[in-house]
Structure 1
Amino acid sequence: MRITKWAWGLGLATAALMTACGGGGSGSTAHMRLMNASIGYASLDMAVDSTTVNSGVTYAGVGTYADVNTGATGTEVQSNSVGSTLASTTPSLTAGSHYTMIAYGAAGTVRTTLLQEDQEVPAAGKSKLLILNLAPDAGALDVYVTGTSETLDSASTSAAAIAAGSGSGYLTFNSGTVRVRLTASGSKSDLRLDIPSIALPDAGVSTLVLTGSSGGVLVNGIQVIQQGATTNFPNSTARARLVAAVGGNALVAGSIGSTQLLPTSTAPTIGDYQTIATGATAPTIFVNGAQLQVPSFPTLAAGGDYTLMVWGPAGSPQLTVLTDDNKLPTTSTAAKIRLVNGVANASAGLTLNVDYSALASNVLAGTSSTPTTTAATTSSLLTVNSPASATPVYSLSSLAIQANGVYTVFVMGDSTSMVGSLRKER
């Protein structure tokens, strides 16, 4: 299989094409179907040469093959609900060959890649597997294909540093049931997806398509058998961290189930993200040795990133659950930044400025601003201002804002002694 990648452009027409050979002449027929790997759309259509050939393809599903004239391959992926065009491409097809057009990406940023499905099958007892990293926000990933009971610590890398929009090439394994784990490139401890059991067909060929998540870091998987059906392997975990923003330098500790989010630490402290099982299991949090009562706790969705912020006065702390958007900026030359206000006893909202431009205004205590896109710079002035203070409550000068970076500015502590912290999430 030869893999040719088209240059990625900007916006909805962005496409990467994977194909095995060149195009056929006018009047020849190829066979093409649509696979919906976009987390942003529950149902998609595909039109070729202005004719709808697949309709209502649900997420992780695949349509039926349609005969396509190789001389008229203009293809549009469309929203099933309103019929708007989300991505378009004109692939080069070979007569008689089978193709799956894979649509992926989040809402508003759909991309496509074309998978040819005429790979020569391996010998009996063997199976070929292609890994496609179609999770644009996850970064480069390592793949571990092991026995179902083998630990990750002892596993060898099956494919390393698969960049977003790229594939591993076909890997050959013994057929049967295996376990597949995906980690951040070079870090076994940063687990992005664990598929405990996946069947590799005997003398067969399949592709594991990796898709994005709502938080941007974790990934999902969809296996497609060559010229066959799909199997969905959604992520069953989320990422959560505990931020101790309580005033009075209180001691804070917390966990969810058996996963420790933060050891006993003096506020203000920002914990690291931990991988947890999804659901509505409330955290166990202690402030100065007393357990914080959590009357209600939201269900943490699979694939999401969350900040559990304990804030307020040490004598009457409260918990706020923030949903974090750690997806990369849609423009690779820009960055994303937001402000989180965890200040106790503060009635006035805070304003985040970069180079004297307000990126977030009137962010009240216990809340977060929506991430805002800003230009990458080598030296910027960042300030957080409060109407209660004549001077910034937090400032950074000569700040380098990196392209494709994701940042959170935390302001914590008491209203009379605010403490700021800049966290680079990506």
Structure 2
Amino acid sequence: MRFTPWATRLVLTLSLSATAFLTACGGGGGSSSSTQIRLLNATQSYANLDLVVSDKTINSKVAQATTGSYGGVDTANAPIQVQTSDVGNSVAALAPTLAGNSNYTLIAYGFAGSVRTSLLQESQDAPDSGKVKVLALNLAPDAGQLDVYITTPDAALTDATPFVAGLVGGAGSGYIQLNAGTYRVRVTGPNNKTDLRLDVSGVTLDSATVNSLIFTSTSSGTLVNGFKLIQKGAVTPYPNSLSRVRMVNGLAGGTYASSTVQGQTLLVNSPSPNRADYISLPAGASNLVVNVNGKAQSFAAPNLVAGADYTLLLYGTAANPLLNVLVDDNRLPSTSGSVKIRLINGLSGNNPLASLVVDYTTLASNVQAGSSSAPAMISSTPGSTVQITSPLLANPLYNPGNNGGTTSLTPLTANGVYTALIMGDSTVNTGTTPPTMPGATGMFIKDR
């Protein structure tokens, strides 16, 4: 299963009768050279898009999360472009083989500079009364594999069986028959029901209809948006209402910290350096509670944007704790085989600048305390020299490959996303040769 330059070809292998729905099947056929096509704008970056076939505009100004109307095209001459509605620049192009006397929806998804397309042939026979056919379609390559649950509204996820498990980017489940009704749709990471990526209630699947549940990436790269597309019918968007949050305790001197967000626990009386894993929670006002060495802190509660990932960076000292909210970019590298890496500086003290150096090339220079560098994209390697440095010192502050004085290399796995963290007291010990920063400590995290 892979993406092609012009479309996501979805070969569905859930069963022996799996449907390849990008080629003629079902009610298509005949000798007709005409077929019907429309555009679904499922992108994150383009407010309006046009669908152009053989230089003829089929759909104009298709807004995000909507479809255009069907237009007839000649199957013998059907080069397709998806264009911006304002300037007319092409953001995706394909030259598919179309079956005559059929219907297609071209799904455009992704972000500016990396728009992809998936061509969905709509030729499934309708199920019997009281039944529905449902296809789950993972068009969120940044999210990785997904488990999809379709349950009654009040069902506990802990007791639920996936509608489809391990759905990779670009893959579909095949059409599966269910009873008609109103359901709750939840999407999680693979084999991890606590890794919630989407939670939507009130998804109505009407009797005798064919439906596609389409999942696309949000700005974070990990959470997903949803769409319900009825065959030859309307689309209903289900934008993500969640955010993901984690906390890093980078306070100097092994200071203890506890924290909750919207009543969910991040840290429990944890000494620095420490971190909590991401949790998913409703976007909006965060209702943040932080205690440092048992004393409540009065930090401003951040407003969490739906679809985004955040690191709550706690740094400074026990006497003067500071908090900064960092927006995390956990989208996968845009170039296959590369990695993304960034630096978070949680040092305290006077002018505690830090830089990130990989294989003796500086990727982020003089990052201020309490902030993060922009992610850098570099080639993956089986082993790299990763160092966090300070302009005050000749030797590195932190090297994750250094173990007991023996330097080894740090693997940077292809398509991975990494965070290098430096924390603690930035006071320089000038009584040593060379000078050191003994209160500083680091972490190296593989986020994806």
1:322 is matched with 326
Matches within 5 A, 1:51-130: 51-130=56-135
1:277 and 2:277 aligned: no
What displacement does 1:348 show?
A: 4.2
| TM-score of the superposed pair, with normalisation by structure 1 | 0.94
Which amino acid in structure 1 is aligned with residue 377 of structure 2?
T
Distance 1:14-1:346 versus aligned 2 partners, 3 A rule = farther
Q: 2 CA distance for matches of 1:347 and 1:253?
A: 27
Deviation at 1:26, TM superposition (A): 9.7
Equivalent residue number for residue 340 of structure 2: 336
> Aligned with 2:142: secondary structure?
coil
Q: CA deviation at 1:24?
A: 7.8
Q: 1:120-154: per-residue Cα shift (whole Å, max 9, x none)?
A: 00011100011110011111111211111211111
> For each residue in 1:233-271, what CA deviation from the matched residue of structure 2 results, as whole angstroms up to 9, or x when unmatched?
111110001111111221111111211121110011111
Residue 204 of structure 1, CA deviation: 0.8
Aligned twin of 2:174: 169
Q: Which residue of 2 aligns with 1:390?
A: 394
Residues 35, 74 of structure 2: 8 Å contact kept: yes
Q: Give me the whole-angstrom Cα distance separating, in 1, the residues matched to 2:293 and 2:86.
A: 52
Distance 1:330 1:281 in 2: 31
1:303 equivalent in structure 2: 307
Q: What is the CA–CA distance in structure 1 between the aligned matches of 2:338 and 2:103, rounded to whole Å? A: 39
Contact 1:343 1:411 survives alignment (8 Å): yes
Deviations 1:182-227 (A, max 9, x none): 1112222212111222111101111011010111111110001111
Asked if the contact 1:15/1:89 (under 8 Å) is kept, the reply is no
Q: Which among 395, 400, 419 is matched to residue 441 of structure 2?
A: 419
**Alignment check: 8 A CA contact 2:8 2:119 kept:** no
Q: Distance in 1 between matches of 2:267 and 2:344?
A: 19
How big is each residue's C-alpha offset from its partner over 1:76-98, in whole Å with a ceiling of 9 and x where there is no partner? Answer: 11122332111100111111101
Equivalent of 1:402, from 413, 421, 427?
413
Q: Report SS of the residue matched to 1:248.
A: helix
- What's the offset of the Cα at 1:285? 0.7
Residues 25 and 372 of structure 1: CA distance in aligned 2, closer, same or farther (over 3 Å):
farther
Cα distance in 2 for residues equivalent to 1:402 and 1:185:
19
Q: Is the aligned partner of 1:16 residue 2:9?
A: yes
For the residues of structure 1 that align with 2:88 and 2:323, how far apart are their CA atoms? Answer: 42
CA distance in 2, matches of 1:351, 1:404: 23
Q: What is the match of residue 363 of structure 2?
A: 359
Partner of 2:431: none
Q: Is the 8 A contact 1:33 1:62 kept in 2?
A: yes
3-state SS of paired residue (2:269): strand
**Letter of the 2:396 counterpart:** P
Query: Distance between the aligned counterparts of 2:163 and 2:32, measured in 1?
Result: 42
Q: Which runs of 5+ in 2 are unaligned?
A: 11-20, 402-407, 428-438
C-alpha distance in 1 between matches for 2:174 and 2:198: 20
Where do 4+ consecutive residues of structure 1 move more than 6 Å? 22-27
Asked if the contact 2:23–2:98 (Cα under 8 Å) also holds between the matched residues in 1, the reply is: no
- Quick check: 2:49–2:84 contact (8 Å CA) kept in 1? yes
Superposed CA deviations along residues 371-406 of structure 1, whole A, max 9, x for unmatched, are: 111111111111111011121000123111100100
> What residue is the counterpart of 1:312 in the other structure?
316
Comparing 39-48 with 65-74, greater Cα deviation is found at 39-48
What CA distance in whole angstroms lies between the structure 1 residues aligned with 2:77 and 2:131?
Answer: 37
* Contact 1:24/1:70 (8 A) holds in 2: no
Tell which deviates more after alignment, 206-215 or 39-48. Answer: 39-48
Match for residue 231 of structure 1? 236
- State the distance in 2 between where 1:261 and 1:15 align: 38
Q: Distance in 2 between matches of 1:151 and 1:268?
A: 35
For residues 318 and 282 of structure 1, the distance between their equivalents in structure 2, rounded to whole angstroms, comes to: 17
Q: How far did 1:318 drift?
A: 1.2
CA RMSD of aligned residues (A): 1.7
Determine what percentage of the aligned residue pairs are the same residue: 44
2: CA distance between counterparts of 1:226 and 1:25?
20
* Counterparts in 2 of 1:323 and 1:216: CA distance versus 1, 3 Å: same
Q: Which TM-score applies when normalising by structure 2?
A: 0.90
Q: State the distance in 2 between where 1:311 and 1:190 align.
A: 27
Question: What amino acid maps onto 1:266 in structure 2?
Answer: P
Q: CA deviation at 1:100?
A: 0.2
Mapped to 2, the partners of 1:183 and 1:232 lie a distance apart of 18
Query: Take 2:241 and 2:259, find their aligned partners in 1: how far apart are those partners?
Result: 22
Match of 1:349 among 347, 353, 364: 353
Tell me how far 1:306 sits from its aligned partner.
Answer: 0.1
Amino acid across the alignment from 1:8: F
Alignment match, 1:155 = 160
